Structures are given as C-alpha cells and as structure tokens.
Amino acid sequence: MPRAVDDRLAPGGAVHRALEEVLVGCDRAARVRTDPVELVHRYADRPLEAELVALLASSVAFGNVKALRAKLADALARLGDSPSAIADDELEAHRRLRGWVHRVYTGGDLAAMLVGARRVQRAEGSLGAAFGRALREAGELREALARWAAAIRAAGGLDRREGRGARHLLPDPRGQSGCKRLLLMLRWMVRGPDGVDLGLWRDHVDAGALLVPVDVHILQLAKNLGLTRRAGASFRTTLEITEALRRFDARDPTRFDFALCHMGMAQRCPSRRDAARCEGCAVKPVCRHWSGARAR
C-alpha cells in the first residue's frame, strides 16, 4: 500500500514552497562561474565537443571544486580547441594527457575514456543519440546508463586498464553507488537550456526521466527536509530523493538540484542547530533541526 505523504511534503506544501524560494534566491550566473559546468558551456555551440567535455568534467567531479576546475582546465588545455579531433588519434590523446593526474585518475585513464567516447560518438552520431537508443532499448535509466558506459569503456580500452582510477572513472551503475557523476552529466545535457544545464540531449531523453545526482550536500539537505532517512548516497537513496522531488515537479524533478547543491555549499550546512551557520538558510523554516518535523 503506498505510504501517505505528510502535508509538508505534498505538492504546494511547506517543503515545496521552500525549494521554490531556494531557486528564486540563487544567483545562477554567479554560481555557474564557480561550477565545473562552466567549462562545458565554453563548447556549447559545438555539441559534439560539449558532450565529450561534459563526460570528462563530470567523470572527475569530486573533491574541492576549485582544485577540480584547475585540473579540468589543464586537461582541456592539453587537448586544445577540438578534443574530438585529438580523440580520433588514440596515440596523440594519450601523449597529450600523459602526466595529468587528479586524485586516483591518470591521464591514461582519461585518454582511454575520451577515445572510447569518441568512437561511440562516431558510430552512433553522438553520445546523446547513443544514450537515447540505450534508454529506448533498456526501458529504464539505470540499465541504459550501464549499457552506455560499458560501450565507452570497451571502445576505448578503459576496462582493460589496471588501477583504481580506471575502475572508478566510468563505474557500472548496476552496483550500489548512487552514480552521482553520471547523473550529473545527464542533468547538464538533458535539462534546459536554462543558463545552467545545456539541453543538448533534450531530443533524446525526457527531463522527467532524470534522477537527482546525490552528493554530500544534497544528501544532507534531503535528510534535513525529510526527503529521505537513508544515511548514504546509494542508488536507493537517489531513487527515494528523486521520488520525493517528483511530487513537486514530475516533468523536471532535478530542477532544484543545482540551486540546492550550491546553497548547501555556501551554507556549509552543519546538520544540527547552529544559529550562526543556519542564519539565512532558505530552508530553515522546514529543516527538521528547527521545525521539529521528523524525517519520514
């Protein structure tokens, strides 16, 4: 029997209204300038380049965002004006990225993924077309992502490489992971264009099918708002948070993600009552630490 939704979490309820306030209060242009997606925007007028850059940028998107952006900028400078042209030449792609390192990822891992993505792009017309086909055939997003990622891994030899970086760069979404980085790339490419997300795959995938990329900020805020009680960012947590947000906007459940994530970063949410840190938080009236509401 479906669980009853408490009034706070109903469409038009207090949590929904608070999230709309977060959207209104977000200076998206300023926030985009600090976000990895800004690097993708630089290629927006060339969709084939943009989708390759989106894959690179999202795949290494964890840790300190400033350090991450610097590493990405370095990788893109090495690849020059046309990453797709470099990716057509496997040896050249590996040569250009040799010595590049970000956390567990090496330039060789990145080159293998880029070459694989380019081969899939050439075979199917675009990565978006390849994903759209996978989605039609699989009938659901997680399995489609798994098939799409596997095709890229195989085409570029990423699955034949040793090391943690090669295993983690383009993970199999059939595992327990919430797949934050792949879902982030999908949000960038499918939603919009709205100044944040680019909408370049909107003809291939419906925004209503997207799942929320759950990072540490989204998980913490989701728990504080009662969207989930789960502790970790597993795939089940991703589904649960998305289901809650779908009640507010079934056609575009991830539209709150960017503003909410950046609010979480700016607020440095302490996940407890902290008068100084919680000052000015747009969701304070509905936060369980202040409203007395229990997580569902």
Closer CB to ligand SF4, 158 or 278, in the complex: 278
Closer CB to ligand SF4, 67 or 295, in the complex: 295
- Strand partners of residue 102: 105
Q: One-letter amino acid identity for 31?
A: R
Is the peptide bond preceding residue 193 cis, with omega within 30 degrees of 0?
yes
288, 226 Cβ separation under 8 angstroms:
yes
Least spacing, CB of residue 105 vs ligand SF4, in Å: 31
Least spacing, CB of residue 45 vs ligand SF4, in Å: 38
Closer CB to ligand SF4, 135 or 245, in the complex: 245
Least spacing, CB of residue 224 vs ligand SF4, in Å: 4
d(C-alpha 225, C-alpha 233), whole Å? 16
Closer CB to ligand SF4, 112 or 222, in the complex: 222
Closer CB to ligand SF4, 99 or 270, in the complex: 270
Both tokens assigned to 75: 């990788």
Closer CB to ligand SF4, 82 or 291, in the complex: 291
Tell me which residues touch ligand SF4 (CB under 6 A). Answer: 221, 224, 267, 269-271, 277-278, 281, 283-284, 287, 289-290
Least spacing, CB of residue 236 vs ligand SF4, in Å: 22
- Strand partners of residue 106: 101
Nearest to 267 by CA among 218, 206, 223: 218
Measured from the Cβ of residue 132, the count of other Cβ atoms closer than 10 Å reads 21
d(C-alpha 13, C-alpha 291), whole Å? 14
State how far the alpha carbon of 134 is from the alpha carbons of 54, 57, 144, 149, 189, in Å.
19, 22, 5, 10, 16
Instruction: Identify the three-state secondary structure at position 194.
Output: coil
Measured from the Cβ of residue 69, the count of other Cβ atoms closer than 10 Å reads 18
Least spacing, CB of residue 293 vs ligand SF4, in Å: 11
State how far the alpha carbon of 152 is from the alpha carbons of 57, 121, 163, 236, in Å.
16, 9, 18, 25
Least spacing, CB of residue 272 vs ligand SF4, in Å: 6
Closer CB to ligand SF4, 101 or 265, in the complex: 265
198, 55 Cβ separation under 8 angstroms:
no
Q: What are phi and psi of 101, to 5 degrees?
A: -145, 135
Least spacing, CB of residue 25 vs ligand SF4, in Å: 13
Least spacing, CB of residue 270 vs ligand SF4, in Å: 6
d(C-alpha 150, C-alpha 143), whole Å? 10
**Which distant-in-sequence residues (6+ apart) come within 8 Å of 70 by Cβ?**
none
Closer CB to ligand SF4, 234 or 271, in the complex: 271
